[in-house]
Amino acid sequence: MPLDLPKAYDATAVEPDVYQRWETSGCFKAGAGARPGKPSYVIAIPPPNVTGVLHMGHALNNTLQDTLIRWRRMQGHDTLWQPGTDHAGIATESVVVKQIQEEGKTRDELGREAFLKRVWAWKEQSGGKIVHQLRKLGASCDWSRERFTMDAGLSRAVRVMFKRLFDAGLIYRGTRMVNWCPVQQTALADDEVEHIEKNGHLWKLRYDLEDGSGSIVVETTRPETFFGDTAVAVNPEDERYKHLIGKRVRLPIIGRLIPIVGDEHADPTKGSGAVKITPAHDPNDYEVGKRHSLPLIQVIGFDGTMTTEAAHFAGQDRFACRKAVCAELEASGVLLGSTQIQHSVGHSYRSNAPIEAMVTEQWFVQMKPLAERAITETVEGRVQFHPERWAKVYGQWLTDVRDWCISRQIWWGHRIPAWKCGACGKHTVAIDDAQTCQHCHSADIVQDSDVLDTWFSSALWPYSTLGWPEQTPEMARYFPTSTLVTDRGIIFFWVARMVMTSMFALDQKPFSDVYIHGTVLDERGDKMSKSKGNGIDPIVMISGGTQKYLGKEFTCPGYGADAMRYTLLDMTTEGQDLKLSPSKFETGRNFANKVWNAGRFLLMNLSEQPLAAPPSDEQVRAAIIGFPEQWLLDRLQTATDECTTALERFRYNDYANGAYRFFRDDLCDWYVEWAKRRFKAGGEQAQAAATILAYAFERVLRLLHPGMPFLTEHLWQHLQAQTGGAMWQGFLMLQAWPEPVAALRVPGTAERMARLQAIVTAVRNVRNLVGLADGVAVAAEIDGPDELTADAEFLTDRGNLSTLSILAGATKPPQSVTTVVGALKVHIPLSGLVDLSKVKVQLSKREQTLTKAISGKEGRLGNADYLARAPAEQVAETKAMLEAERAELANVRETLTTL
RNA sequence: GGGCGAUUAGCUCAGCCGGCCAGAGCACCCGCCUUACACGCGGGCUGUCGCAGGUUCGAAUCCUGCAUCGCCCACCA
């Protein structure tokens, strides 16, 4: 072997170096490789948690983005893939809180300033990790423009947006019932609450009437809240209870008297029909309370323990209290028993703790006006979802959306730019820190201690990263962005809110297309997650290593990013979930190795058959010295079209597959095998084969590049070194995406090839039919026109299939089977090769199936409806097939008589 | 309670704006270390296209109903 290249592709030895050269050469910079006249193409990365680590979901998400960006960059668009990270308020804060707790301290002991210092330190320490992992993936982001949601610029954008919304009357402060997480002690937005079906009890409690005339039974899932009951509601139409309205009952243990009120909320068909009303701890009850002016009594504190309202249970955890209260109420005969039920309980999507409904004062965004415009953009097609069905989900959510609670009682995040005046009590909202109250000019003002929901800053991401609110050149050039690639899990959190804020503040959509990809699942079909231990570490798959997966350890030698990317692309079909296992990535690894070796084969031959320069379209056309060459180049045009169309439609698997089919089946299996003959023949033939191969291989490297960037770049550099010349310069990643070359198309080529392949199939069928052992060659003869001779040569040496002799007007040799391919007859002499008596049996079977097939077709053609309604083409096809089968049957019969 | 998705070869999935005898990869079987690749080559086996109806000359593909699994939404005391 003239070239000292390893037989097996070692991605781990190649990828880091290739990436380094791209990055230092400025290949990732916005606009790199852009050609005049092409519009911009922009993707804003879904910013990962700054302190997070790359998981398979990120790998998928970013592979899809990188594939699009690389493809568009090659097409000559002015591309920008805007990278960055998110401060992830609650998630990051709780990690640091845990760290501090392990040191035996609390957040509050540390104080706000010192705590924030700690978080920043943690961010600095771990913040680079995920960004470096993205590099391992091959992500071609413009790292020079990396942003963080708490950068100065982005923080200013947050303040500007807050002020604009406030000034427009769309941000307000209000006392409302919100979702409260007792673990993190903060309010949460509605969509930050996950409802989980839990087994629970429905307890029956007996409340005695004040006048001793009896009692009323209420049912509840939360008996511990009875301390906060301020009424019992019954339906005003309910005959059972109508007469009790206005009377009072006495609460157990504490003896407080509460009224029985009539309210529509009480459903006579549910439970006992009477319901306890706890306005401070239930959203429904809160509404009932408002209607009847009932007092709010908070019995569960913000930390999840009972307040002093709960008598001697004060200080107990809410769940411990439930048990204790039940025990005590049962002993005193108030608790009349319980039934098992299933009900959904809200949990914090961050801390997983059961949330409490709490009445607090918070900041809200009024959503209706914002939502309406966001819906319009989608309905009118300016923002398009792929797959389309997500537009419905998105629209539905926006239609029913409730106001967004944006204040969080944590420290890590954008502090709310509102100052409360100690003198007049009003708020001053300002972009730059306020010094005096704008209402009464008092200097006695204090900034709100809360921070904003993380999603508030994420909502500005596509434009805050480009410099908004300044009118920067980047804003002019790269906004609106083009495609957003994300997970269905954050359509509400993120996608919808980006559209809303963008329409509000810029009067423009933030992106044109939203591609929603599937969720990464393990091999059993469960969502991958740290806690379940079923995640596959992308870095282990890329660089190698050992990890635990589904309770077992597995070791990966390091398949490389290309291998992983290819597998992910191959599995990405129209937003379907991806069921992965470590072995799945062998698909990509094997294909990468195939590409590598085909490259080696070409380089080896080029060293013996050097090309003066990379072949141009014209030169490769001149090198078409036979049908195989004509076919390969024609096929290349089709493959080019297929890849382009697939990417335009976000059909990643079609793209991966289209490139794969051409590469493996057509280029390697057919043409490379054929080229070996050309190289052996030497001279002009060898030169032509080298030209064709070098050209086709180079084109397909371009087609593969968006999916497998490292390997293709590496091979391209080798190819370039070997062929030099003016055409192949610089980096593959900045070369032009192939366009179909009309001059290399020859109409009818595919059909001609299909006919040849049909001969192969026909011969194989006969071989199987007669039970010919593998490895036994037959010399089939084709009875057809002269011009087939050259074509059929192409079939020769396709493995140990057969040797084909092409004889125009050949007569049937004795003891041979004849098979019919279109207008051709293929004679396969079997004399001495097989037991002819067995062949007879097989042929009789074949005779039967043919007879059956023929009668079926005759039936169809005898059907007047079919002839009248089916397209003429279809009918003609059926007729042709019928004729072919008849001819074959005749041959089979003839053969039978000769055997 | 509502919505969405899935159900095709042993496994993972394509195909589904109706008609090219239902496809790929993996697994399996047979034959090959053929001088690019055994992470390979050549060949082969495997499917009542979830069930029941309907529309149509013709349905995996359209319609209706059902079943199973999964996801999302929803203030089910």
For residue A241, the 8-state DSSP code is T
Q: Round and report the angstrom distance from CA (A843) to C1' (B44).
A: 19
What is the CB neighbour count within 10 angstroms for residue A797?
A: 14
Q: Round and report the angstrom distance from CA (A576) to C1' (B7).
A: 14
Collapse the DSSP code of A82 into the 3-class scheme (helix H, G, I; strand E, B; otherwise coil) and give the result.
strand
Nucleotide B3: closest residue by CA–C1' = A393
Q: Round and report the angstrom distance from CA (A816) to C1' (B5).
A: 55
The nucleotide whose C1' lies nearest the CA of A801 is: B42
CA–CA separation, A732 vs A373, rounded Å?
A: 43
Burial status of residue A793 (CB atoms within 10 A of its CB: 0-12, 13-18, 19 or more): middle
Q: Round and report the angstrom distance from CA (A520) to C1' (B71).
A: 13
Nucleotide B31: closest residue by CA–C1' = A774
Phi, psi of A827 (to 5 degrees): -95, 130
Q: Round and report the angstrom distance from CA (A758) to C1' (B37).
A: 27
CA–CA separation, A485 vs A687, rounded Å?
A: 46
Q: What is the pLDDT of residue A724?
A: 74
The nucleotide whose C1' lies nearest the CA of A864 is: B57
Q: What is the pLDDT of residue A2?
A: 46
The nucleotide whose C1' lies nearest the CA of A267 is: B77
What is the CB neighbour count within 10 angstroms for residue A544?
A: 15
Q: Report the range of poorest mean pLDDT among A1-10, A139-148, A209-218, A363-372.
A: A1-10
Q: Report the range of poorest mean pLDDT among A53-62, A233-242, A404-413.
A: A233-242
| Residue reference for tokens 């997070």 | A52
Whole-number percent of chain A with pLDDT over 70: 95
Whole-number percent of chain A with pLDDT over 90: 58
Q: Round and report the angstrom distance from CA (A769) to C1' (B45).
A: 15
Q: Round and report the angstrom distance from CA (A392) to C1' (B16).
A: 21
The nucleotide whose C1' lies nearest the CA of A341 is: B76
Q: Which runs of consecutive H residues, i.e. helices, occur in A405-453?
A: none
pLDDT tens-digit map of A309-322: 988 988 999 999 99
Smallest Cα–Cα separation from A258: which of A230, A237, A238, A223? A230
Q: Round and report the angstrom distance from CA (A485) to C1' (B64).
A: 37
CA–CA separation, A899 vs A882, rounded Å?
A: 26
Instruction: State how far Cα A607 lies from the chain centre.
Output: 43
Nucleotide B32: closest residue by CA–C1' = A775
Q: What is the pLDDT of residue A800?
A: 46
CA–CA separation, A701 vs A706, rounded Å?
A: 9
Binning pLDDT at 50, 70 and 90, where does residue A803 land? low
A839 pLDDT above the threshold of 90 = no
Q: Round and report the angstrom distance from CA (A891) to C1' (B28).
A: 36
What does R_g of chain A's alpha carbons equal in angstroms? 37
Q: Report the range of poorest mean pLDDT among A162-166, A834-838, A870-874.
A: A834-838
Smallest Cα–Cα separation from A125: which of A114, A115, A117, A113? A117
Q: What is the pLDDT of residue A3?
A: 59
Mean pLDDT for the stretch of residues A245-264: 90
Q: Round and report the angstrom distance from CA (A635) to C1' (B22).
A: 25
CA–CA separation, A206 vs A219, rounded Å?
A: 9
Nucleotide B40: closest residue by CA–C1' = A594
The nucleotide whose C1' lies nearest the CA of A873 is: B19
Buried b (16+ CB within 10 A) or exposed e, A638-651: bbbebbbebbeebb
Q: What is the pLDDT of residue A168?
A: 95
CA atoms within 13 A on the CB side of A308: 0
CA–CA separation, A776 vs A830, rounded Å?
A: 11
CA–CA separation, A760 vs A712, rounded Å?
A: 33
What is the CB neighbour count within 10 angstroms for residue A495?
A: 27
The nucleotide whose C1' lies nearest the CA of A870 is: B57
Q: Round and report the angstrom distance from CA (A789) to C1' (B9).
A: 38
Nucleotide B12: closest residue by CA–C1' = A579
Which stretches of A47-131 are assigned E, i.e. beta strand?
78-82, 84-85
Nucleotide B57: closest residue by CA–C1' = A866
Smallest Cα–Cα separation from A728: which of A739, A720, A718? A720
CA–CA separation, A591 vs A597, rounded Å?
A: 10
Q: Which runs of consecutive H residues, i.e. helices, occur in A819-899?
A: 836-862, 864-869, 872-898
Smallest Cα–Cα separation from A259: which of A242, A246, A244? A246
| Secondary element (H or E) of residue A503 | helix A497-505
Binning pLDDT at 50, 70 and 90, where does residue A802 land? low
Record the pTM: 0.92
Q: Round and report the angstrom distance from CA (A571) to C1' (B53).
A: 35
CB A635 within 8 A of CB A750: yes
Q: Round and report the angstrom distance from CA (A344) to C1' (B76).
A: 8
CA–CA separation, A557 vs A804, rounded Å?
A: 45
A801 pLDDT above the threshold of 60 = no
The nucleotide whose C1' lies nearest the CA of A282 is: B75
pLDDT tens-digit map of A324-354: 999 998 888 888 888 888 788 888 887 888 9
pLDDT tens-digit map of A668-722: 988 998 899 899 888 999 999 999 999 999 999 999 999 999 999 999 999 988 8
CB A235 within 8 A of CB A267: yes
Residues 6+ apart with CB under 8 A from A801: A760, A763, A764, A795
ipTM value, please give it. Answer: 0.95
Smallest Cα–Cα separation from A752: which of A782, A791, A786, A780? A791
Instruction: State how far Cα A693 lies from the chain centre.
Output: 36
CB A708 within 8 A of CB A598: no
Buried b (16+ CB within 10 A) or exposed e, A352-370: eebbbbbbbebbbbbbeeb
Q: Round and report the angstrom distance from CA (A775) to C1' (B30).
A: 11
CA atoms within 13 A on the CB side of A761: 9
Q: What is the pLDDT of residue A810?
A: 65
Binning pLDDT at 50, 70 and 90, where does residue A775 land? low
Q: Round and report the angstrom distance from CA (A572) to C1' (B52).
A: 33
A300 pLDDT above the threshold of 70 = yes
The nucleotide whose C1' lies nearest the CA of A679 is: B35
A790 pLDDT above the threshold of 80 = no
The nucleotide whose C1' lies nearest the CA of A605 is: B36
The nucleotide whose C1' lies nearest the CA of A349 is: B72
Q: What is the pLDDT of residue A139?
A: 97
The nucleotide whose C1' lies nearest the CA of A342 is: B76
What mean pLDDT, rounded, does chain A reach? Answer: 89
pLDDT tens-digit map of A542-564: 999 999 998 888 899 999 999 99
Q: What is the pLDDT of residue A1?
A: 40
The nucleotide whose C1' lies nearest the CA of A346 is: B75
What is the CB neighbour count within 10 angstroms for residue A56?
A: 20
Q: Round and report the angstrom distance from CA (A3) to C1' (B35).
A: 14
Residues 6+ apart with CB under 8 A from A698: A614, A716, A719, A728
Q: What is the pLDDT of residue A657?
A: 93
Q: Round and report the angstrom distance from CA (A141) to C1' (B38).
A: 38
The nucleotide whose C1' lies nearest the CA of A869 is: B57
What is the CB neighbour count within 10 angstroms for residue A465?
A: 28
Terminal CA-CA length for chain A = 51
Chain B footprint bases within 7 A of protein beta carbons: 3-6, 12-15, 19-20, 24-26, 30-32, 34-45, 56-58, 69-77
Q: What is the pLDDT of residue A865?
A: 82
Mean pLDDT for the stretch of residues A420-440: 93
